[in-house]
Structure formats: C-alpha cells, structure tokens
Amino acid sequence: MKLKRVLALLLASVILLLCLSGCSESDYLLSKSQLDEMLADAKAEGYNEGYEDGCNEIEDKYSNDYDSGYSDGYDRGRSDTVDQYERKVKDAYSDGYNEGVSDGASFDADAVWKDGYDYGYNYGVSTSGTSSGYTEKQSEPTAAVAMPQPEIQEAKAPAPQQETAPTAATYDYIINTNTGKFHYNWCKSVGKMAEKNKWYYTGTRDSVINMGYVPCKNCNP
C-alpha cells in the first residue's frame, strides 16, 4: 500500500513538471481547485492506509497482550488454588493431631485407682491364708453371726478369795462378719467396712479366734 502511494505521488510530480516545462504558464498551470483536489486525494489515501496499518498493529498487540495476560492469570490462579489446598490440608492435620493427643492423654483417674484397689484387695485376700474360706463365704449366703448373749446369773455371796492365774488381757475389737477377720478399732481397714458387717466386740484374742475369726494382716491384733 505504501508503494502504491509513492507511485501516485511520483506520477503527479511528473505531470506537474511536464506542464511547467513545455507549455505556457497560462495553458498548463493547474488551477488551485485542481491542486487542492489532488492534495485531498493523496491525504485521504494516506489516511486510509495509515488507519489500516494502525488497526493491524493494535490487533496484533491486543492478541499478544491477551494471550500473555491469560497465561499469567492461569498460572496465578492455579498457584493460589494449590496454596489454599495445602493450607487446608495442614489445618486438617493439625486439628486431627490435637484431637488425637487430647483423647490419648485423657483417662478416668478414679476408675484407674478403683481397678488398682480391687486388684490389690483381692490379691491380699488370696495370699492371707484364708482364700479358700473367703471364697466359700462369698459363694454362700452370708449367715448372721449370733452375738454371745450375756448370761443372767443370780447374785451369790462372795466366795473366799483365792489366788488365781493371771487372766488374758481383753481388747476392743471390731469383727467383720462378712470376711471373717477381726481388727483393732484403729485399723485402717475398719473405715472400708460396711456398717452392717461390723461387730463391736470386747474380749480376749483367743476368744475371738475360738469363734472362728482370723486376725487382720494389717493391724495384726
């Protein structure tokens, strides 16, 4: 298009020179209106070609900028999505880990103590030498132990005093009618007894043993 415009200008220049060189000024000089028309045509042709070239240049630049912007936006969007997903994965892991630590470290201290106490109590009973008797007592209905009733004696005249052998000492015992053991009243095992199984008894050690009870291994009465 530029070559065509140049050729048109050259042709106009040649015609103008021929008119000026071979003819008289009055016969061959172009009129002002003709010259203005030629200039207007040349300007219009130049404008059209420039406009077309400008449009093509803008179109190429727009296409390149669009492709570049699309590529950058795609990469950025994909990167942001991956980063967001990784953050969510880390947060989910952290939440799961904290819940696992909390559940793993929690336990019922009272239940653990109770299990240990029951195990120790049962083991203590089984090694006390009365495990068989204890088992039999547990498997059979507990019979009420009859407390010795004091005998009512008629008042008699005091007998002559005689020298007697020293009598055995008497103590205040607490007998567990359920386990068949007797304790000092200060024994720590007394606090663990049910009140219905306690028999408060004052007498000698031999008398309690003769009734079939065995001494506690803790206080050893």
Contact 192, 218 (CB under 8 A): no
Domain extent for 16: 2-20+29-100
Q: What is the mean pLDDT of residues 189-198?
A: 91
Per-residue pLDDT of 131-151, as tens digits, reads 444 444 444 455 545 555 555
Per-residue pLDDT of 146-186, as tens digits, reads 555 555 556 565 665 665 656 678 889 999 999 999 999 99
Indicate the residue among 84, 100, 116 that finishes a domain: 100
Residue 128 lies inside a defined structural domain of this protein: no
Residue 154 lies inside a defined structural domain of this protein: no
Residue 164 lies inside a defined structural domain of this protein: no
Count CB neighbours of 68 within 10 A: 10
Residue 58 pLDDT grade (very low, low, confident, very high; cuts 50, 70, 90): confident
Residue 106 lies inside a defined structural domain of this protein: no
Indicate the residue among 74, 100, 126 that finishes a domain: 100
pTM: 0.27
Q: For the chain, how many structural domains are there in total? A: 2
What pLDDT is stored for residue 133 in this prediction? Answer: 45
